[in-house]
Amino acid sequence: MFLQLFVVNKSGGLIYNQNLSSAAPRLNSNDWLRLGSTFHSLHAIAAQVAPVPSSGIEKLETDTFKLQSFQTLTGVKFVITAEAGTPDLGGVLQEIYELYTDYVLKNPFYELEMPIRCELFTLYLEELIERHSNAGGAPGGGGGGGKKPAGQY
């Protein structure tokens, strides 16, 4: 099951955060900002200290959760966390990137590098997460609708 998603712009600022499950820890907005910029720094350090050319932190697996990060060639980082044992999150991150290009970047009122306040993005993100949770979490039980976004957490 997915826990949280956050998006960091190329200068390390947090531009989006969303809880994807009621089991996700509740963070206040300061915590979120700190998390975003700390991850950005660690990502940069990881890429620099690696003995071979590296694209920074891609996966982090622990006993209780896993984290996966996807950095686009333009420098935006999409980071998702999920419960331990969730299958590879790369596909979901790629789909989230596509949603971002459609519902954030194509919104003429969105300014690049600024926090994402696009309801459509959140709506389709929730739909996507629900679709994936149904497909992965409960075999046979999913598939129903999926149009209605999961409630606000």
Partner 1 sequence: MATSSKSHQRTGEQAWGKISKVNAELFTLTYGAMVMQLIQDFEDVGAVNKQLESMGYNIGVRLIDEFLAKAGVSTPCTDLKETADVVAKVAFKMFLGVTADVSSWNGDGTAFSLLLYDNPLIEFVELPPQYSGLLYSNLLCGVIRGALEMVQMKVSCRCVRDVLRGDDVNEIRVELKEMMEDVMDEDYKEG
Site of interaction with partner 1 (CB under 8 A)? 10-12, 44, 72-76, 94, 97-98, 100-102, 105-106, 112
Count of CB atoms within 10 A of residue 89's CB?
22
Shortest separation between residue 58's beta carbon and partner 1, angstroms: 14
What gap in Å lies between CA 86 and CA 66, rounded to an integer? 8
Shortest separation between residue 68's beta carbon and partner 1, angstroms: 16
> Considering beta carbons, is residue 27 or 35 the nearer one to partner 1?
35
> Considering beta carbons, is residue 74 or 152 the nearer one to partner 1?
74
Residue 115 burial (CB < 10 Å; 0-12/13-18/19+)? middle
> Considering beta carbons, is residue 12 or 115 the nearer one to partner 1?
12
For residue 33, report the phi and psi dihedrals to the nearest 5 degrees: -60, -40
Shortest separation between residue 29's beta carbon and partner 1, angstroms: 22
* 3-class SS of residue 70: strand
